Structure 1
């Protein structure tokens, strides 16, 4: 498999609830976003899938445990977190470090995320392909001209 996808965690593959304290893996209930399971299941047949998260208080094992609770972990090859890399996601350096660890070519990696500022624009600046997941049809004034999807399964058609 030569294609690699990086997915954001909160509000891209799993519903983030900022009103709940602590780590997502410890919340009483965790939930995948709509169509996350189907998208990862089908996409994993033709690509490698990794998580790229800026979670403040979760280490790699915590992130993996949250995905395990919703049944998405079977489709994920690895996890890259701010805690593990020591760099915030909103910078191209975050993505350069992931590319280096994957021994990949930036153009062969696609970042999928729900925020332009932290997920999409820094990844594009680092040379990655990008897909902005925008389920709420939020307007934007950025110069971003890449693909935009409103449902995760739309990624499968790109």
Structure 2
């Protein structure tokens, strides 16, 4: 099972409000191909820290980017009642999915919010690091989403 952070969509600087209302909504390079492949073998869900979007608005943004068909469930502030900085965020997701934490791999672009928090909650994690930021770590790191396939 794969859980995606805000890794799938391009966060356009200067845009505010729900992403579904932005003039342009686009997927990160390789996101669609990666989801097409992975979703055939394992459920894919989205865990986002979006503060100003409802689950329905997030689904609409995913549709605009051509990704909605590959995402089963969306977890956000609206339906969890908390954000990624809350220690129980990933625990709440595993409870809602009724799975053990080790069965989920979190793929995220934030080392602190996605990878480290997910690992603390018992999930596996992959850091999507497209800028190839160099750090000493034992984390699994990819710089392109097609490397996940």
Shorter chain as denominator, the TM-score bin is: over 0.9
1:140 Cα offset (Å): 2.9
Aligned-pair CA distance for 1:137: 0.4
- Structure 1 residue 79, shift from structure 2 partner: 0.1
TM-score, length basis structure 1: 0.91
Deviations 1:27-80 (A, max 9, x none): 011110000000000000111000000001011001100000011001110100
Partner of 1:39: 34
Output aligned runs, 1:1-150, within 5 Å.
Answer: 4-9=1-6, 12-140=7-135, 144-150=137-143
Equivalent pair of 1:90/1:119 in contact (CA under 8 Å): no
Tell me the matched-pair count. 149
**Is this contact kept in 2: 1:5–1:110, CA < 8 A?**
yes
Quote the offset at 1:7 in angstroms.
0.3
Runs of at least 4 residues off by over 3 Å: none
8 Å contact kept, 1:6–1:110: yes
CA RMSD of aligned residues (A): 1.1
State the 1:90 CA deviation: 2.3
Residues in 2 aligned to 1:92 and 1:145: alpha-carbon distance in whole angstroms: 21
Secondary structure of 1:92's match? coil
5+ residue gaps, structure 1: none
Measured in 2, the distance between the counterparts of 1:90 and 1:47 equals 26
